[in-house]
């Protein structure tokens, strides 16, 4: 028997004797009716010792390309940013890694203080008053913001968003709204941006406007104007922001946003094929009691010492049950810890430099790719860290395959989400990409032309 | 040993000009950044983030970690949370760049090894549950509940049935009614009888054509397997409703009985519990769901499919080009890191080994119950599955010691506290789940500590814990006047 069990035969005998049962089966038989018990063992292969498991997993891992084996220009909501060694080292400490929700504050001060520091950092990043301790990911955080807005504007049922919001976030919103009385109105993003048509769509039925800035195509939105119009109509403004971008550009709170949400993967969390990631959420002070999820707060103990506890728990499912602000229980604390360490290492200058590198390298990549005959840069206006490229030959798959064969993950094809952009792909450039790597991308995509 | 680094906040440690991360020089023939970003978008002031050296950061967080109890350091019998040992090999293997550095939008052709593991995991979860349709997308147990209820709602919509009610047990996790409410259902509570099992008469009185789903935890949160399960599931099915199984307690029944075999139509797993994903101070978890064949077409997409020797992502589209899937419930594939750890765990034990896991979990819980029942009242008999619920009610009356007092004092003895005041159906509940990865010696020591506490001076216990850095924080003030961020003085 492989695995992690403890009991010797002697232990088992003594334990059964103390219980007063002849066997574990007897204990089970006393509760589980015979007609629902399994008559045959589970059809799952025999267990593996550690060395065999290691060789299995190494062979499976070896069959995958990744941002470690290839130069990664993929974005679309998850990015190959640099993760300092100290993040992995600290976050893998068992005291963080193998603890759980801090129900017993006295033996969870480490986690609670980290949560409080994380929440403070998120308020600093967003310019908003309060943050929760984490949600699942960017997509579900966006939905939670929509649900919060619907609850806060009771009676209103319209959610205004645009095609420049991450398509998977939009799909997630649609799924959740299916079961409740609310509808999403999606504004078509045009080459002039989306703010005019979004503003036109806002009315007295509108619960909230959801705007991503920088948007899915890397472009800047006029959040302030949208916010002004939404507020005049009594609607709530939700911004999906990029936590790296605020090193350089105005924060959601500076733009009049009421609820800011983000995918926090960029802050020290591994790509890991989409999860676990980090749903970030901050909001205006007066919305705090509508917030979903755990919140750590400061208080004092019986000796007057400063300490931290889970607070405002009457919002949560374990107290309020069907009247809770959300059903969330397990969250993404470990990922929030990683973000906290990451931001502590970066500081204001490190985050600003990271954002500057993204902008400059993205601009350089745009320049280089614009020289490839086969390619067209779709939006020429300013972008943050990604941009849309059109393949004039209309064979994005071939282009991506050519690049892949040369060791490059060149971009995210847009066809499955945007039929009108079936000949386009999205290129993301983080601070990790070197000038040589960008040159190589341009070279490989150009030589693909030569091969045609 | 004093430890001041762990009492300060990073914001208080900050010194202007200190820094850790430095990027390589930026040397590109492009305009300066302030010309690349439009003026009206540029931040007007630097972010107020703390400024720290790398040594500051490491010492701060390492010291903070020592203020936590964890499975690696302590017995953690937090009922309902299945705090079992988290294997180190899984950490090493799931951190291989071939898994951890895979981008979520990579072409499936480039990640065949990863998709193979996920495909096999889908199959194993189906086998363990006896329910063939599997989605790995939900991010946590509660998210799985919500997703499964959306699947149920889609099914009833398709059938043109307007069912508006979800039944939950009075001993259920709070997530059950909260999830139902998010899908727009009205929730009604089914009572349990004094033996802790579902009151079938009460269930009958609440069953009619408006009931969509009965959400059941089995074994339930009292650690009892409901022996009436066949009758319960048949009754709900007779009324056209579906049975949802909250899989929180799967650790008790692996290879022993299967939800699909006892009548469940939908369920979620908590792989971070049952299959040992580290709990990370509150998460991440994952919440894969399994459903009966006739519900599979409503599952969120994508699902990993196999075609010959190749794995790909199914879109859920059927031959006629339509799609019945409820859609996405989050971005990207799922909490893959947690799912891979579950895969490693299941491969380590194999089919027979998993049954042994549950048998040892049942053995450990019953053994500890046999010790604790001499110390505290255990209202639901002297047999349980993987956990049991004692009550401090009598000792509270006799000596003034509440469940909270016991929980706080046991910390001084070097044990994490059991779950207290849950489930709601037991007065002064003390919910103990030892798991299979604790030795007999540890269980004996825990019982001995509990015994000593019940004999200690009540004043001593009321003020416990005494050995921790802080004791009995003021929750009321924290909630009345919330301080949820640091601000400069």
What is residue A181's predicted lDDT score, i.e. its pLDDT?
84
Structural domains in chain B? 4-65 (no CATH), 89-346 (3.40.640.10), 353-475 (3.90.1150.10)
Could you give the strand order of the β-sheet that contains A183-187, starting from the edge strand earlier in sequence? A130-131, A279-283, A259-263, A236-241, A206-212, A158-162, A183-187
CA distance A108 to B100: 28
- Whether residues A150 and A206 share a domain: the answer is yes
> Which of B68, B224, B385 minimises the CB distance to A96?
B68
- Give the domain CATH number at A205: 3.40.640.10
Distance from CA of B133 to the nearest CA of A (A): 17
Picking from A110, A116, A124, the nearest residue to B66 by CB comes out as A110
Identify whether A244 is part of a domain: yes
Under 8 Å between Cβ of B46 and B83: no
Q: Averaged over B245-274, what is the pLDDT? A: 98
Pair (A331, A371) in one structural domain: no
CA angle A330-A141-A108, nearest 5°? Answer: 35
- Regarding whether A234 and A368 lie in a shared domain, the answer is no
Last residue in a domain, options A342, A369, A386: A342
Does residue B19 register a pLDDT over 60? Answer: yes
A151 with A125: CB under 8 angstroms?
no
Residues of chain B positioned with their CB less than 8 A from the CB of A6: 360, 436-440
B238 contacts B232 by C-beta, under 8 angstroms: no
Q: Both A250 and A296 in a single domain?
A: yes
Q: Give the separation between CA B118 and CA B109, rounded to whole angstroms.
A: 14
Q: Where are the alpha helices (DSSP H) in A127-194?
A: 138-152, 167-177
CA distance A143 to chain B (A): 9
Q: Is A322 in the same domain as A377?
A: no
Q: DSSP letters of B385-434?
A: SS-EEEE-HHHHHHH---HHHHHHHHHHTTBPPPEES-STTSTTEEEE--
Distance of CA A164 to the CA centre of its chain: 17
- Residues B338-350 pLDDT 10s: 999 999 999 999 9
pLDDT at B299: 97
Residues A152 and A100 in one domain: yes
Question: In this structure, are A414 and A282 located in the same domain?
Answer: no
Q: Which two tokens stand for residue B371?
A: 């010790």
Residue A434 sits in a domain of what CATH number?
A: 3.90.1150.10
Give A 398-437 residues with CB within 8 A of chain B.
Answer: 400, 404, 409, 412, 431, 435
Q: Is the pLDDT of residue B446 over 60?
A: yes
For the question of whether the overall pTM of this predicted structure is more than 0.95, the answer is: yes
Q: In chain A, how many domains are there?
A: 2
User: Is the same domain home to A383 and A305?
Assistant: no
Q: Are strands A236-241 and A259-263 parallel, antiparallel or unpaired?
A: parallel
Predicted ipTM > 0.85:
yes
DSSP code per residue over B13-73: H--TT--S--PPP---SS--HHHHS-GGGB-SS--------HHHHHHHHHHHHTTB--TTT
Whether B329 and B302 have beta carbons less than 8 Å apart is answered as no
Token pair of A303 as six digits: 């000796």
Can you give the residue range of the structural domain that contains A386?
Answer: 71-82+348-451
In a domain, A402, yes or no: yes
Token pair for B308: 């010959």
Q: Give a yes or no: residue A58 inside a domain.
A: no
- Both A361 and A334 in one domain: the answer is no
> Is A241 in CB contact (< 8 Å) with chain B?
no
Predicted local confidence at residue A195, as pLDDT: 80
Q: Flag if B184 and A271 touch (Cβ within 8 Å).
A: no
- Write down the pLDDT at residue A316: 87
Which of B184, B280, B463 is closest, CB to CB, to A334?
B280
Predicted local confidence at residue A193, as pLDDT: 64
Closest to A349 measured CA to CA, from B242, B94, B314, B47: B47
Domain-located, residue A66: no
Residues A118 and A221 both lie in one domain: yes
| DSSP helix/strand/coil, B4 | helix
> B82-133, pLDDT tens digit by residue?
999 999 999 999 999 999 999 999 999 999 999 999 999 999 999 999 999 9
CA separation for the pair B107, B115 (Å, rounded): 11
Q: Are residues A304 and A315 in the same domain?
A: yes
Cβ contact A294:A302 at 8 Å: no
For residue A451, the model assigns a pLDDT of 46
In this structure, is residue A9 part of a structural domain? no
Over range B415-437, report the average pLDDT.
96
CA atoms of A228 and A237, how far apart (whole Å) = 9
Do the Cβ atoms of B317 and B305 come closer than 8 Å?
A: no
* Mean pLDDT, rounded, for B307-313: 96
pLDDT in tens, A302-317: 999 999 999 999 888 8
Per-residue pLDDT, averaged over B340-361, amounts to 98
Compute φ and ψ for A170, nearest 5 degrees: -65, -40
Q: Which residues of B219-229 are buried (b: 16+ CB within 10 A; e: fewer)?
A: bbbbbbbbebb
Which residues, given as ranges, of chain A have pLDDT below 50?
450-452
Residues A162 and A202 in one domain: yes
Q: Which residues pair with B322 in a beta bridge?
A: none
Q: Which pLDDT does position B216 carry in this prediction?
A: 96
């Amino acid at each position: 028997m492989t695995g992690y069990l403890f009991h010797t035969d002697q232990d088992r005998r003594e334990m059964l004797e103390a219980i007063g049962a002849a066997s574990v089966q007897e204990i089970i038989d006393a509760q589980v009716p015979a007609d629902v018990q399994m008559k045959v063992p589970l059809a799952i292969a025999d267990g593996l010792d550690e060395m065999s498991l290691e060789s299995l997993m190494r062979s499976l891992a070896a069959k995958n390309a990744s941002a470690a084996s290839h130069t990664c220009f993929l974005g679309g909501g998850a990015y190959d940013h640099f993760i300092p060694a100290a993040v992995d080292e600290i976050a893998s400490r068992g005291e963080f890694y193998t603890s759980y929700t801090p129900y017993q504050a006295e033996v969870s001060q480490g986690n609670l203080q980290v949560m409080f520091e994380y929440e403070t950092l998120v308020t600093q990043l967003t310019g908003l008053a309060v943050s929760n301790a984490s949600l699942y990911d960017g997509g579900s955080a966006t939905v939670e913001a929509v649900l919060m807005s619907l609850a806060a504007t009771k009676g209103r049922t319209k959610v205004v968003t645009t095609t420049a919001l991450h398509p998977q976030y939009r799909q997630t919103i649609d799924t959740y709204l299916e079961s409740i009385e609310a509808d999403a109105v999606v504004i078509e993003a045009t080459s002039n941006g989306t703010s005019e048509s979004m503003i036109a769509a806002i009315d007295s039925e509108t619960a909230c406007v959801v705007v991503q800035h920088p948007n899915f195509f890397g472009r800047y939105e006029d959040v302030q104007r949208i916010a002004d119009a939404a507020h005049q109509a009594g609607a709530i403004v939700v911004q999906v922001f990029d936590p790296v971008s605020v090193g350089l550009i105005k924060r959601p709170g500076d733009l009049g946003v009421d609820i800011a949400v983000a995918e926090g993967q960029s802050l020290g969390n591994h790509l890991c094929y989409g999860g676990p990631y980090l749903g970030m959420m901050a909001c205006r002070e007066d919305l705090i009691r509508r917030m979903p999820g755990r919140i750590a707060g400061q208080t004092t103990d019986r000796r007057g010492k400063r300490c931290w506890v889970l607070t405002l728990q009457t919002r949560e499912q374990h107290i309020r049950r069907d009247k809770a602000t959300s059903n969330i229980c397990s969250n993404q604390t470990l990922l929030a810890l990683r973000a906290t360490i990451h931001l502590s290492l970066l500081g204001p200058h490190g985050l600003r430099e990271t954002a500057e590198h993204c902008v400059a390298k993205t601009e350089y990549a745009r320049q280089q790719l614009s020289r490839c005959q086969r390619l067209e840069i779709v939006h020429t206006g300013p972008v943050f860290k990604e941009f849309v490229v059109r393949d004039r030959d209309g064979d994005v798959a071939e282009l991506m395959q050519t690049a892949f064969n040369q060791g490059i993950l060149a971009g995210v094809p847009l066809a499955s989400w945007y039929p009108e952009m079936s000949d386009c792909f999205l290129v993301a450039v983080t601070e990790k990409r070197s000038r040589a790597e960008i040159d190589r991308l341009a070279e490989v995509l150009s030589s693909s032309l030569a091969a045609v | 040993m004093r430890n001041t680094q762990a009492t300060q906040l990073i914001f208080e440690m900050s010194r202007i000009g200190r820094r850790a991360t430095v990027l390589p020089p930026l040397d590109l023939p492009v305009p300066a950044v302030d010309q690349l970003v439009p003026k009206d978008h540029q931040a007007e002031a630097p972010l107020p983030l703390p400024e720290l050296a790398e040594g500051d950061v490491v010492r701060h967080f390492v010291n903070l970690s020592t203020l936590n109890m964890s499975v690696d350091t302590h017995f953690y019998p937090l009922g309902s949370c299945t705090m079992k040992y988290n294997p180190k090999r899984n950490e090493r293997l799931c951190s291989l760049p071939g898994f951890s550095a895979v981008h979520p939008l990579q072409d499936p052709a480039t990640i065949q090894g990863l998709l193979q593991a996920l495909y096999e995991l889908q199959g194993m979860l189906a086998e363990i549950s006896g329910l063939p349709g599997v989605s790995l997308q939900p991010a946590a147990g509660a998210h799985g509940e919500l997703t499964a209820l959306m699947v149920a709602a889609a099914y009833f919509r398709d059938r043109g049935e307007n069912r508006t009610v979800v039944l939950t047990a009075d001993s259920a996790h709070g997530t059950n009614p909260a999830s139902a409410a998010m899908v727009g259902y009205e929730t009604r509570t089914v009572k349990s009888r004094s033996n802790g099992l579902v009151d079938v008469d009460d269930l009958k009185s609440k069953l009619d054509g408006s009931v969509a789903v009965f959400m059941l935890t089995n074994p339930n949160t009292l650690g009892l397997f409901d022996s009436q399960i066949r009758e319960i599931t048949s009754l709900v099915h007779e009324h056209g409703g579906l049975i949802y199984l909250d899989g929180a307690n799967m650790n008790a029944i692996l290879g022993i009985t299967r939800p699909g075999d006892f009548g469940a139509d939908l369920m979620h797993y908590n792989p971070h519990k049952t299959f040992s994903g580290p709990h990370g101070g509150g998460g991440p978890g994952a919440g894969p769901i399994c459903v009966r064949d006739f519900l599979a077409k409503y599952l969120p997409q994508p699902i990993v499919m196999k075609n010959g020797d190749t794995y790909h992502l199914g879109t859920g589209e059927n031959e006629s080009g339509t799609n019945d899937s409820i859609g996405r419930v989050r971005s990207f594939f799922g909490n893959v890191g947690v799912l891979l750890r579950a895969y490693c765990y299941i491969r380590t034990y194999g089919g027979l080994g998993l049954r042994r896991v549950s048998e040892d979990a049942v053995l450990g819980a019953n053994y500890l119950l046999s010790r604790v029942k001499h110390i505290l009242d255990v209202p639901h008999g002297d047999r349980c599955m993987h956990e049991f619920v004692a009550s401090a009610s009598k000792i509270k009356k006799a000596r003034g010691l509440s469940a909270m007092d016991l929980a706080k004092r046991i910390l001084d003895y070097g044990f994490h506290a059991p779950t207290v005041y849950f489930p709601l159906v037991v007065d002064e509940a003390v919910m103990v789940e030892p798991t299979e990865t604790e030795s007999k010696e540890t269980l004996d020591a825990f019982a001995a500590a509990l015994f000593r506490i019940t004999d200690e001076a009540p004043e001593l216990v009321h003020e416990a814990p005494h050995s921790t850095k802080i004791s009995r924080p003021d929750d009321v003030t924290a909630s009345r006047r919330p301080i949820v961020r640091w601000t400069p003085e």
